[in-house]
């Protein structure tokens, strides 16, 4: 038959023959039965699907079925193995230093806290308000602190954090070979928390500076520092985020990592896998005071920019355009016709400032500065600050649902003037015993608080603290006489007796505060 049913028929015939052979075998002698059984086994094997000619020819659709049933090849892992940081540590670890800081707290006729307690201690203010003053003229035990840093030039320039060396009377740098040097503070910048110190040495090991703009979330990084005084300790983790903004830190686009950073790590380097420094470990986010999985580093390009200015001029010059900005959320983006939330929304423009002269208006959204996109408002202050004062900046602005280019001449940001401390012991005059630190107000600050005063209190201690004076109070006069300069204040206080009546402005209200500065 040739109609397509031939093979099933043949298979049926062979099955019938096998049954007949079995019946016949049952009536045969044993030897014959064995022989016949062997022949029948061969026949059964020939009829099995594995050797059947019919079974060997699959149906037309069997190919697709076989392909679907076959297991898919295993996906190649995107990450293979863990990095080995040994080479980085061996090559650049010697360039990481331990920094010991000593600051001496002198008694100024007011409460100085329990012996050895730092003014940064959470309980210091409690004891200051309710504790017993220490004897006048006595010196408190020195306050000690420690941090980390790294050598950037063979002749001894070192980068660290500003908060590591603040108010230090002595800074000691210890190398990995246990040599120690007394360091000189070249300068510090509190806005970025970057400081430069120098030791007198030559042919020192140095780090290699990298490009933090090449960092990507998920990349491995390592920190080397002195947590809790354990020199040259190494911890590793990954980049958790980039361009993070923190409260009161609008000038630094922090690198967020999960690298373990603890007290003593501050000022130490953050390395990438190429052995390049991409950041300075600066802060942690913690509710306990210790590491909780969130640490933040200053991008090294920000730090080196500050370093160059501190070494050259001892100060940092920054640009400003005289606007205040806020974040663009989804509602604002929809209201202004933006495709998505981005840019920095101008909330106010300083009258007569650079932005006002250039034609910027409240409601404008700054999308880019000199070709650099602004995705979040926190990016703008840092970008503007890095522009040299006196130069022109080109802003891409979104206004009336269309982009517009605006050229702004960048002005210099007025840094807070150095506070003038007025403190002293038994041998000091009334002015020094008062226990305040003041600085002149700049014109913008005066306009903001609407005051005719010129001096603002930045810190209080001793008699001033006991009298209830507070940082932020504006001094208007002394003993009924107006004062407008530091010299005026000094002269008026020195002419006073054992008590001084200060007229101040606080929260828009003028009040008198009596301060007793003598027995």
Q: How many domains does the chain have?
A: 4
Write the pLDDT tens digit of every residue in 118-166.
Answer: 555 555 555 554 444 444 444 456 788 899 999 999 999 999 999 999 8
The percent of residues in the chain predicted with pLDDT above 70, rounded, is 72
Pick from 394, 325, 329, 402: nearest CA to 361: 325
Last residue of a domain, one of 412, 442, 471: 412
220 lies in the same domain as 87: yes
Most confidently modeled range among 76-85, 91-100, 325-334: 91-100
260 lies in the same domain as 217: yes
Angle at 103 between CA 106 and CA 464, to 5 degrees: 40
Position 508 scores a pLDDT of 84
pTM of the model: 0.61
- Residue 10: give the domain boundaries: 6-56
Tell me whether residue 147 is in a domain. Answer: yes
6-26 vs 30-47: helix crossing angle, rounded to 10: 160
**Which of the residue ranges 19-28, 113-122, 159-168, 276-285 would you say has the lowest mean pLDDT?**
19-28
Position 498 scores a pLDDT of 80
**Which of the residue ranges 169-178, 414-423, 502-511 would you say has the lowest mean pLDDT?**
414-423
More confident residue, 176 or 14: 176
222 lies in the same domain as 356: no
C-alpha to C-alpha distances, 501 to 452, 466, 481, nearest whole angstrom: 18, 14, 10
331 lies in the same domain as 456: no
39 lies in the same domain as 167: no
Tell me whether residue 69 is in a domain. Answer: no
Write the pLDDT tens digit of every residue in 40-66.
Answer: 444 444 444 444 444 444 444 444 444
Integer Cα distance of 33 and 136 in angstroms? 124
Report the CATH number at residue 182: 2.40.10.120
Which residues belong to the active site? 163, 193, 266
Provide CB contacts within 8 A for 321, sequence distance 6+: 353, 354, 355, 358, 360, 384, 393, 408, 410, 411
Query: SS3 sequence, 192-213?
Result: CCEEEEECCCCCCCCCEECCHH
Position 338 scores a pLDDT of 93
Pick from 305, 241, 239, 295: nearest CA to 268: 295
269 lies in the same domain as 398: no
Position 283 scores a pLDDT of 87
353 lies in the same domain as 484: no
């Amino acid at each position: 038959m040739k109609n397509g049913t031939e093979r099933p028929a043949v298979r049926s015939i062979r099955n019938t023959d096998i049954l007949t052979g079995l019946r016949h075998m049952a009536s045969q002698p044993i030897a014959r039965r064995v022989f016949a059984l062997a022949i029948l086994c061969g026949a059964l094997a020939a009829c099995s699907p594995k050797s059947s000619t019919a079974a060997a020819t699959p149906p037309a659709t069997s190919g697709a079925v076989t392909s679907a049933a076959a297991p898919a090849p295993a996906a190649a892992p995107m990450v293979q193995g863990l990095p080995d940081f040994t080479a980085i540590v061996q090559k650049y670890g010697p360039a990481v230093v331990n920094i010991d800081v000593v600051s001496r707290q002198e008694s100024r006729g007011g409460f100085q806290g329990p012996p050895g307690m730092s003014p940064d201690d959470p309980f210091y203010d409690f004891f200051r308000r309710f504790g017993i003053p220490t004897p006048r003229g006595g010196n408190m035990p020195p306050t000690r602190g420690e941090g980390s840093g790294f050598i950037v030039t063979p002749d001894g320039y070192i980068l660290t954090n500003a908060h590591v060396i603040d108010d230090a009377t002595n800074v000691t740098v210890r190398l990995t070979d246990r040599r120690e040097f007394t360091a000189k503070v070249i300068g510090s910048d509190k806005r970025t928390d970057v400081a430069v110190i120098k030791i007198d040495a030559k042919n020192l090991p140095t780090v290699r500076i990298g490009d933090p703009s090449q960092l990507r979330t998920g990349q491995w990084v390592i920190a080397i520092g002195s947590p809790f005084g354990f020199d040259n300790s190494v911890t590793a983790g990954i980049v958790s985020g980039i361009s993070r903004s923190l409260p009161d830190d609008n000038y630094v686009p922090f690198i967020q990592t999960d690298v373990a950073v603890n007290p003593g790590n501050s000022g130490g380097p953050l390395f990438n896998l190429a052995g390049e420094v991409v950041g300075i470990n600066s802060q942690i986010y913690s509710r306990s005071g210790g590491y909780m999985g969130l640490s933040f580093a200053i991008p090294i390009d920000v730090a080196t920019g500050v370093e160059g200015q501190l070494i050259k001029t001892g100060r940092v010059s920054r640009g400003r355009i005289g606007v205040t900005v806020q974040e663009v959320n989804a509602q604002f983006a929809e209201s202004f016709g933006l495709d998505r939330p981005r840019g920095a929304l101008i909330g106010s423009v300083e009258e007569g400032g650079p932005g006002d002269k250039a034609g910027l208006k409240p409601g404008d959204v700054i999308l880019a500065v000199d070709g650099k996109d602004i995705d979040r408002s926190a990016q703008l202050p840092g970008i503007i600050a890095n522009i040299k004062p006196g130069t022109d900046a080109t802003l891409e602005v979104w206004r009336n649902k269309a982009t517009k280019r605006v050229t702004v001449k960048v002005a210099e940001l007025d840094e807070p003037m150095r506070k003038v401390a007025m403190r002293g012991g038994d041998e000091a005059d009334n002015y020094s015993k008062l226990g305040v630190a003041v600085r002149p107000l700049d014109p913008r600050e005066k306009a903001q608080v609407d005051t005719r005063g010129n001096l603002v209190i930045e810190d209080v201690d001793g008699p001033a603290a006991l009298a209830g004076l507070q940082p932020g109070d504006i001094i208007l006069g002394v003993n009924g006489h107006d004062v407008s300069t530091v010299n005026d204040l000094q002269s008026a206080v020195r002419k006073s007796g054992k008590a001084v009546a200060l007229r101040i402005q606080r929260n828009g209200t003028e009040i008198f505060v009596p301060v007793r500065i003598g027995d």
